Amino acid sequence: MNMWILVETEVGPTRINTNAICAYQKPKEQPNNGESLLIYTSDNTLFDVNKNCENIIQILDNHFDISNL
């Protein structure tokens, strides 16, 4: 399935094809750092998502079916 997600990064709204995602990570929260989500893609691009992280994680978890991990 060819699915895209729309995320908000420091440079603005960014669309990422889920087929290109290799990994995603929610770093441990640091005081005064705000929420963050790191998305790594197959071409070694790193996106730092800074808004709506929990909803994006839910979408990605459902898309990649992490229930068998």
- The residue extents of the domains of the chain are 4-68
User: Across residues 37-45, what is the average pLDDT?
Assistant: 95
pTM above 0.75, yes or no: yes
pLDDT at residue 46 above 90? yes
pLDDT in tens, 8-34: 998 999 999 999 999 999 988 766 667
**Residue 15 carries which side chain, given as an amino acid letter?**
R
Residue 2 is classified by DSSP as: -
CA end-to-end span of the chain, whole Å? Answer: 21
Question: What is the spatial distance between Cα 22 and Cα 41, in angstroms, rounded to a whole number?
Answer: 5
pLDDT at residue 68 above 90? no
Question: Shortest CA distance to 7 belongs to which of 32, 45, 36, 42?
Answer: 36
**6: which 2 tokens?**
């729309």
Instruction: Pick 35 or 34 by higher pLDDT.
Output: 35
CATH of domain 4-68: 2.40.50
Cβ atoms within 10 A of the Cβ of 24, count? 20
